[in-house]
Amino acid sequence: MTLMQWFIFFLALQVIHFLGTWKLYKKAGRQAWEALVPIYNAVILMKIIGRPWWWTILLFIPIVNLIMFPVIWVETARSFGKNTTTDTVLVIVTLGFYLYYLNYVAHVTYKTERSLVPKSASGEWVSSILFAVVAATIVHTYVMQPFTIPTGSLERTLLIGDFLFVSKFHYGARTPMTTVSFPMVHDTIPGIGVKSYLDKPQLPYFRLPGFQDVKRSDIVVFSWPVDTVNRFYGMDDGKYYHKPIDKKSNYVKRAVGLPGDSLKVVDGKVFVNNEPLELPDRAQLQYSYQGTSKGGGFNAKNLYDQYKITNLRFYNATQFATQAITDENAERFKNHPNVASLEKLIATPDQKDPSIFPKGNASLGNRDQIASVYIPKKGATTPISTENLPLYKRLIEIYEGEEMGEPREISVNGNQVLLNGEPLSEYTFKQDYYWMMGDNRHNSEDSRFWGFVPENHIVGKPVFIWFSWDSNGKGILEKIRWERLFTTVGGNGKPVSYFLYFIIALVGYFVISKVIKNKKAKS
């Protein structure tokens, strides 16, 4: 929906509210016109039902308002004496239109001294759970979101089994675009495996102000731009469908290229604006290696403890390969008494991989050799021709067209590129774009395979590892990576665990709370 359509929808809601409540406003001692004035009518309604004025704010927060609207309907009915279970069910199943019956037909009286305390333990529980969900939804959407590392694409910087807190406020929280969604879940409802949202209506993209921009080499969580395949709903039928931006699968990679940069990959190394990419000292790049042994095997625990190798595989009696090992660990592994030879697997420039962006004959190279590519920047203009069209076609049609509410179709007539039937010789970008890659260079599906990440797909910045679980550990205590608990994701130097400080603070909190409670009891 466009902004104008949303404005009309908003005005329609005001009219519906006025028609269904103006007599109730009068019975509560207010003026009928107060039910018509946008926002003001909500503030007055909060006074009528005896609730704080700031509940009005909750009515304008997407997803949260889906919880609050039924609450307001029920509270309004109860303010006029309709507080039975039947009344509550009727208010909810009629989507609030039961208030029309109260407004025009029923003989109701305003309860000026209505108690706001639930009359039963179950009512108290429902009230507590409801507002816990509201608070959690606000935190999850606008402040901090939990995230789990599911793959090894960023090892050994972030490990499979790391549980993160992702900050929404560093880059500015992205307000929900999907208006009707099940709270506290992403794209599916756990347990029953059905879609958790309605595709329409959609709000326009908007991002709250942040206190920093995405910096080069930042680790970033983002909505996977090309997430439109059915297999992510457990249906591997190869069909494609539209998925709202904020309901696409979340990915985590490193931002190696920023808007306006020129980027290339040479022998597995990233160069930005013809300079080698500078990485923080915590970054640990990994590559695939192959080698031969001197006839014997390897101890799996020793490989992990000494060289952080988790996936060494033998092809025959002596030849082996590993998909993820740092160059430093590889140099040490060469000195293993059972290693006869070891070499890094780097594709040569003459090998063109059709799976590399933008696919097929237009491929930029292979996973280790990517031809120089310009990363679009908002406001920048670039020539468009049949030669570079594969780089920017999806960007223009989908990211800046369909997903922005502006349907577009690009076609080619001879050597002429057409946009909606009109000649297109240059294009000015409407938003910034990024190039994302994993630190595990040979085990990461990233921008090398699907291209640019639009700014409106940025979710947040991982800031904190609160738990880490190693599935290779034998016992429960061995599976917990104690040294990673309560460590920061960014920064320089070896990560420092703040877990002990957390335990001390937690014990201190309970001790102080107990002392205060005892003092109050004595007094």
pLDDT single digits (tens) 398-426 = 999 888 878 889 999 988 999 998 999 99
In the three-class reduction of DSSP (H, G, I as helix; E, B as strand; rest coil), residue 506 is classed as: helix
pTM > 0.85? no
Q: Give the integer Cα–Cα distance in Å for 426 and 440.
A: 36
What is the pLDDT confidence band of residue 46, given thresholds at 50, 70 and 90?
very high
Convert the pLDDT of each residue in 113-149 to its tens digit.
776 666 555 555 666 677 778 888 888 888 888 888 8
Residue 34: which region, alpha, beta or left (left: phi > 0; alpha: psi -120 to 50)? alpha
Q: What is the 3-state secondary structure (H, E, C) of 167-190?
A: ECCCCCCECCCECCECCCCCCEEC
Residue 111 has a pLDDT of 86
Read off the pLDDT band of 240 (50, 70, 90).
Answer: low
Residue 433: which pLDDT band, with cuts at 50, 70 and 90?
A: very high
Q: pLDDT at position 232, please?
A: 46
- pLDDT value, residue 353: 92
Residue 447 annotated among the catalytic residues of the structure: no
Higher pLDDT, 52 or 490: 52
Structure tokens that stand for 422 in this block: 């009109």
Residue 436 buriedness (CB in 10 A; 0-12 / 13-18 / 19+):
buried
- Note the pLDDT of residue 189: 82
pLDDT at 2: 62
Look at residue 451 in the predicted model and tell me its pLDDT: 93
Q: State the greatest distance between any 2 C-alpha atoms of the chain, in Å, as a whole number.
A: 93
69 phi, psi to nearest 5 deg: -60, -50
Question: What 8-state DSSP symbol labels residue 327?
Answer: H
Rounding to the nearest 10 degrees, give the CA dihedral for residues 149, 150, 152, 156: 20
Encode 460-475: b = buried (16+ Cβ within 10 Å), e = exposed.
bbbbbbbbbbbeeeee
Per-residue pLDDT, 521: 79
State yes or no: is 253 an active-site residue: yes
Q: Look at residue 287 in the predicted model and tell me its pLDDT.
A: 92
Question: What pLDDT was estimated at residue 81?
Answer: 86
Contact present, 437 and 444 (Cβ < 8 Å) = yes
> How far is residue 434's CA from residue 256's CA, in Å, rounded to a whole number?
8
The yes-or-no verdict on residue 18 having pLDDT over 50 is yes
What are the residue ranges of helices labelled H in 360-475? 389-394, 447-450
State the catalytic residue, choosing from 168, 247, 248, 253: 253
Highest mean pLDDT among 259-263, 308-312, 406-410: 259-263
Q: Which residues, including other chains, have CB under 8 Å from residue 94's CB and lie 6 or more apart? A: none
Domains of the chain: 3-115 (no CATH), 286-344 (3.30.70), 464-522 (no CATH)
Whole-angstrom distance, CA of residue 296 vs CA of residue 319? 11
Q: Is the pLDDT of residue 1 over 60?
A: no
Read off the pLDDT band of 47 (50, 70, 90): very high
Q: Are strands 416-419 and 262-266 parallel, antiparallel or unpaired?
A: unpaired
Flag whether pLDDT at 473 surpasses 60: yes
Q: Which residue out of 79, 82, 153, 447 is catalytically annotated?
A: 153
Compute the distance between CA of residue 127 and CA of residue 324 in angstroms, rounded to an integer. 50
Neighbours of 116 (CB within 10 A): 11
What digits encode the pLDDT tens for the residues 58-105? 888 877 888 888 888 988 988 898 888 888 888 888 988 999 999 998
Dig out the tokens for 31 from the structure.
Answer: 């003026």
- Spatial CA neighbour of 82 closest among 104, 57, 53, 114: 114
Whether 321 has a pLDDT exceeding 50, the answer reads yes
Structure tokens at 307: 């060289």
CA distance 490 to 218: 8
pLDDT at 211 exceeding the cut of 50: yes
* Contacts (Cβ under 8 Å, ≥6 apart) of 322: 288, 289, 309, 311, 312, 313
Average pLDDT taken over every residue of the chain:
86
Local structure of 474: helix, strand or coil: coil
Which of the four pLDDT bands, split at 50, 70 and 90, describes residue 384?
A: very high
What does R_g of the chain's alpha carbons equal in angstroms? 29
Q: Which one is predicted more confidently, 369 or 403?
A: 369
**Region 475-486 average pLDDT:** 83
Angle at the Cα of 465 from the Cα atoms of 460 and 467, rounded to 5 degrees: 130
The β-bridge partners of 197 are: 181
Average pLDDT, integer, range 251-265: 94
Q: Compute the residue count for the chain.
A: 523
| DSSP code, position 181 | B
- CB within 8 Å of 138: residues ≥ 6 apart: 61, 64
pLDDT above 70 as % of the chain: 94
